[in-house]
């Protein structure tokens, strides 16, 4: 659980220095990345105006445009029922709007999908380099796949030459102090070739390595999906524990936050994994007053409740699904 508290502190520090967005625990190609930073692109502001949530990938990749309205089942690459569900979600977040003709629903984009992703950085947290686990393999995979422009290892450990020798050269290394929030750059990352095809290492055994080529086009699609998930998700746990022992606070260098701290355990806790009746200190109560969304809105360019870009908001109810 020390890793969880470390990760929250890393996110708080990254957010403070970033002009983009930070998110944690995002599924990518074949693995979950600890922390992702989305660097803003030219139309970042336009993206913030559409929705605070994630725009579904298949809706962005579909043939639904801003011009002629189309049937979702014909324009979205999915089985008809699923295509309609994707369209529902795209309408809900304000990226599609619907109109009805002859009793059938047609959809179009409310706005062109903006060019808002300036870059992606991945951070792999390993507070204790003495317990590396799968670290080397994960980092080798990240470098050979080249999904992120930069990959950085963040640790609390003193980094020796022997450690550096085991980490792929392209991976940057930072040493992070969770008390002060200070970062020492041990090694800068190289820029990876994100616009070329890459190679995913799907399995590695002593005598055998399974690989899978990933095209540049597929990588572009994955990068957009990662950025969208990061936009919608962020890094703060959504809810605080419904427990008397729970407090909302931040790490020592940024105490005014809304992260789940447990007075009984004397540390930050992961509510989803640690809290509930099975915990020895659990005592049911209202969760502490806290508003992670407002904090995110205040500290980042993300907008919690944008006006949206739907052109014909009034009467949308009439255009429900058949």
Binding footprint of ligand SF4 on the chain (CB under 6 A): 241, 243, 245-246, 262, 264-265, 269, 274-275, 279, 281-282
Nearest approach in angstroms of CB 274 to ligand SF4 is 5
Nearest approach in angstroms of CB 268 to ligand SF4 is 10
Nearest approach in angstroms of CB 272 to ligand SF4 is 10
If the CB atoms of residues 142 and 274 are measured against ligand SF4, the closer one turns out to be: 274
If the CB atoms of residues 279 and 304 are measured against ligand SF4, the closer one turns out to be: 279
Nearest approach in angstroms of CB 286 to ligand SF4 is 12
Residue owning tokens 């640690």 = 274
The phi and psi torsions of 271 (rounded to 5 degrees) equal -55, -40
If the CB atoms of residues 40 and 241 are measured against ligand SF4, the closer one turns out to be: 241
If the CB atoms of residues 90 and 240 are measured against ligand SF4, the closer one turns out to be: 240
The torsion region of residue 280 among left (phi > 0), alpha (psi -120 to 50) and beta comes to alpha
Nearest approach in angstroms of CB 264 to ligand SF4 is 4
Nearest approach in angstroms of CB 3 to ligand SF4 is 16
Using the 8-state DSSP alphabet, how is residue 19 labeled? S
Burial-class residue 37 by CB neighbours within 10 Å (0-12, 13-18, 19+).
buried
The torsion region of residue 279 among left (phi > 0), alpha (psi -120 to 50) and beta comes to beta
182-202: burial string, b at 16+ Cβ within 10 Å, e else: eeeebbebeebebeeebebbe
If the CB atoms of residues 42 and 284 are measured against ligand SF4, the closer one turns out to be: 284
Q: Which helix (H) or strand (E) holds 174?
A: strand 172-176
Nearest approach in angstroms of CB 249 to ligand SF4 is 12
The phi and psi torsions of 318 (rounded to 5 degrees) equal -65, -20
Nearest approach in angstroms of CB 125 to ligand SF4 is 21
Residue 275: both structure tokens together: 């809290």
If the CB atoms of residues 254 and 279 are measured against ligand SF4, the closer one turns out to be: 279
Q: Tell me the three-class secondary structure of 44-93, residue by residue.
A: HHHHHHHCCCCCCHHHHCCCCCCCCCECHHHHCCCCHHHHHHHHHHHHHC
For the sheet containing 183-187, what is the strand order?
21-27, 32-40, 117-125, 150-155, 172-176, 183-187
Nearest approach in angstroms of CB 262 to ligand SF4 is 3
Is-contact 17 188, C-beta < 8 A? no
Is-contact 26 32, C-beta < 8 A? yes
If the CB atoms of residues 140 and 247 are measured against ligand SF4, the closer one turns out to be: 247
Burial-class residue 169 by CB neighbours within 10 Å (0-12, 13-18, 19+).
exposed
If the CB atoms of residues 118 and 281 are measured against ligand SF4, the closer one turns out to be: 281
If the CB atoms of residues 47 and 282 are measured against ligand SF4, the closer one turns out to be: 282
């Amino acid at each position: 659980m020390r890793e969880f508290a470390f990760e929250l502190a890393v996110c708080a520090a990254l957010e403070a220095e970033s002009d983009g967005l930070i998110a944690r625990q995002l599924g990518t190609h074949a693995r979950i990345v600890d922390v992702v930073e989305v660097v803003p692109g030219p139309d970042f502001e336009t993206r913030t105006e559409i929705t605070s949530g994630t725009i579904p990938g298949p809706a962005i990749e579909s043939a639904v445009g801003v011009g002629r309205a189309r049937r979702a089942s014909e324009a979205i690459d999915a089985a008809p029922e699923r295509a309609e569900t994707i369209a529902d979600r795209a309408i809900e977040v304000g990226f599609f709007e619907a109109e009805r003709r002859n009793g059938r629903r047609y959809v179009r984009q409310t706005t062109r999908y903006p060019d808002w992703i300036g870059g992606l950085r991945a951070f792999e947290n390993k507070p204790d380099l003495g317990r590396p686990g799968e670290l080397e393999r994960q980092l080798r995979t990240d470098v050979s796949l080249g999904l992120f422009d930069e990959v950085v290892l963040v640790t609390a450990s003193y980094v020796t030459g022997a450690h550096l020798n085991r980490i792929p050269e392209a991976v940057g290394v930072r040493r992070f102090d969770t008390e002060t929030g200070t970062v020492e750059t041990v090694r800068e990352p190289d820029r990876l070739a994100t616009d070329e095809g890459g190679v995913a290492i799907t399995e590695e055994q002593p005598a055998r390595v399974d690989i899978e080529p990933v095209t540049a086009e597929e990588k572009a699609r994955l990068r957009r999906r990662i950025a969208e998930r990061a936009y919608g998700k962020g890094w703060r746990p959504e809810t605080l524990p419904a427990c008397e022992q729970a407090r909302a606070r931040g790490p020592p260098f940024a105490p005014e936050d809304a992260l789940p701290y447990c007075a009984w355990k004397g540390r930050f806790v992961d509510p989803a994994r640690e809290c509930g009746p099975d915990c020895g200190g659990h005592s049911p109560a209202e969760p502490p007053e806290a508003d992670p969304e407002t904090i995110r809105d205040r500290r980042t360019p993300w907008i919690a409740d944008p006006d949206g870009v739907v052109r014909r908001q009034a009467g949308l109810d009439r255009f429900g699904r058949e």
